[in-house]
Amino acid sequence: MKLQAMQVLLTRLEALLDSEQAAQFNMRYFGSTYSVYTKEALAVPVCGTQACLAGEAVLAHGLAKVLPSGGLSFKNGHLAAPNEIEETAIKVLGLTVIQKRKLFFFNYMDGTYGWPEKFEVMYKAAKTPPGRLYVAIRRVEHFIKTRGRE
């Protein structure tokens, strides 16, 4: 794990916390256009789309940009598929396969590794986009503190 790269991600998440784009962060709907029909639709992000930790890592390092219509595109203009975003984030953050699972997925999504239960429970209980983002910030801090073990 590249600690400096993780710190860049953390700094981005903290900057988003008090911005109109806090609702952009969503661990469940990466890259999809924001929908008011989603039960988590509590605020509309400026970009109109959503990103997870992998997406935010790529954005934090300036490797892609958010498209107003939804999703991300790489700097070369190539529309990024979710698997490409994940692979790019793994490289930029220097994660192992297990670390990737622990950072990018809830435990129920992967079935073997994922966020520690306390963070997953806190995320699900959060009622606002800034609340979910706050939990993600605490999650990333814990991940850094434990050097990717948890």
Give the range of the structural domain holding residue 41, as residue numbers without chain letter. 3-145
What are the pLDDT tens digits along the chain (150 aa)? 999 999 999 999 999 988 877 777 777 766 556 555 455 544 555 555 556 898 899 999 999 988 777 778 898 888 887 788 889 999 999 999 999 999 988 886 666 788 999 999 998 898 888 888 999 999 999 999 999 999
Residue 51 identity:
A
Q: Is 150 domain-assigned?
A: no
pLDDT tens track for 39-59: 554 455 555 555 689 889 999
Q: How many angstroms separate the CA atoms of 23 and 74, rounded? A: 21
Output the pTM of the full model: 0.85
Which pLDDT does position 31 carry in this prediction? 59
Query: Is residue 104 a contact partner of residue 97, using CB atoms and an 8 Å limit?
Result: no
Query: Is residue 65 a contact partner of residue 72, using CB atoms and an 8 Å limit?
Result: yes
Q: Is 25 domain-assigned?
A: yes
Write the DSSP assignment of 64-132 as a string of letters. Answer: EEE-TTSSEEETTSPEEPHHHHHHHHHHHHT--HHHHHHHHS-HHHHSSS-S-HHHHHHHHH--SHHHH
Q: Is 17 domain-assigned?
A: yes
What are the beta bridge partners of residue 74? Answer: 64
Q: How many domains does the chain contain in total?
A: 1
The residue among 133, 136, 81 whose CA lies nearest residue 105 is 136
Joined together, the tokens standing for residue 141 give 């801090």
Joined together, the tokens standing for residue 121 give 């429970």
Q: Is 64 domain-assigned?
A: yes
